[in-house]
Amino acid sequence: MTISESILNGDTADVYFHRTREILRREGIDPIVTMEIFPSRDGILCGMREALELLTQVLPTDAQAWTMDEGAAMQAKQVVLRIRARYSTFGLYETALLGILASQSGWATAARKIVDVASPISVISFGARHVHPNVAAQMEYAAIVGGCATAATPIGAALAGKPPSGTMPHAMILIFGDTVRAAQAFDKWMPPQVNRIALVDTFRDEAEESIRVAQALGDRLWGVRLDTPSERGRVTPDLVKEIRARLDQAGFSRVKIFVSGGIDVERIALFKQTHAPIDGFGVGSAISGAPAIDFTGDLKEIDGKPIAKRGRIPGITPNPKLQLWSREK
């Protein structure tokens, strides 16, 4: 992950860290401190990879850090990152470190809840359209860390070493004026490794469109996607069951059914409770709109002396899950 220049030069830091650095510099004070970072609630730790990339660029070689693993389950107030170095080398980046962990852990935790409910049905992150593009890659990466099979954007999937996944937008079908024509064009021009998945809710009844596309593409059709809008009642368990039955009756039992559009934990639970035959879910704002997990950074030692603000225990907080960070990893 590339750390932006605005982070490295401190533009994203709270201004009081700039002022602190200037005051300490003028006073000639620069102790070796130990900072511990911990979350406010349970969740899935994510963002550590990016946090360590930042530390790689700012910490001197004699500094030390201990971390928990990316994707690990964490508990409230459990120390996930401990840094020991001169304060001047990393104090300015407290805002960035906390923000990186807060956002990505929030997204990963939401993804894990959805993936656990959906299991063994796969989940793909479709949430990039719900966040600012400057953070879309980190959101998609976090969703994959949380358990999503992959994500829709190339940049987000690439961060996790995955190929992106997607079907076709309604815009393409509307431009072609017919679902079958759009699916045939997709089949004609997309490389063989791209699954042929047709969106089937644009012009006609979903079951009718599914059969039409299956007849046109034959064995090349991998699946159909249902994204029925709320104005038409959204995708329901009965609709999924009907499409499955009609595809099977027409000899297309190998065609998979993928469902998207307002999918969250509650809707996935409903589909599973009613035994709707779904092969995959596309989830957007239920992941991308998840609240961040607040993280706190506390100084616990100054020049080897245990210290803490009121309400916290001075000195290092034990956590056997912390591992000494190696820059070579």
For residue 63, the model assigns a pLDDT of 96
For residue 200, the model assigns a pLDDT of 97
For residue 191, the model assigns a pLDDT of 94
For residue 326, the model assigns a pLDDT of 83
Q: Residue 260 and residue 287: Cα distance in Å, rounded? A: 13
For residue 327, the model assigns a pLDDT of 75
Q: Could you tell me the pTM of the whole model?
A: 0.94
For residue 329, the model assigns a pLDDT of 46
Q: Are 167 and 199 in contact (CB under 8 A)?
A: yes
- Which amino acid, 162? K
Q: From the first residue on, what is the mean pLDDT of each consecutive set of 10 residues in the chain (329 residues)?
A: 90 96 97 98 97 96 96 98 97 97 98 98 96 96 98 95 93 97 96 95 95 96 95 94 97 97 96 97 97 98 96 95 83
Q: Residue 123 and residue 281: Cα distance in Å, rounded? A: 5
First to last CA, the chain: 14
Torsions phi, psi of 122, nearest 5? -75, 155
For residue 277, the model assigns a pLDDT of 97
Q: pLDDT tens, 186-211?
A: 999 999 999 999 999 999 999 999 99
Pairing state between β 323-324 and 64-67:
antiparallel
Q: Residue 239 and residue 280: Cα distance in Å, rounded? A: 15
Q: Are 315 and 36 in contact (CB under 8 A)?
A: no
Contacts of 188 (CB under 8 A, 6+ apart): none
Domains of the chain (ranges, CATH numbers): 5-105+291-324 (3.20.140.10), 114-288 (3.20.20.70)
Total length of the chain: 329
> Could you identify the residue written with the tokens 């020991």?
84
Q: Are 38 and 82 in contact (CB under 8 A)?
A: no
- Which amino acid, 216? A
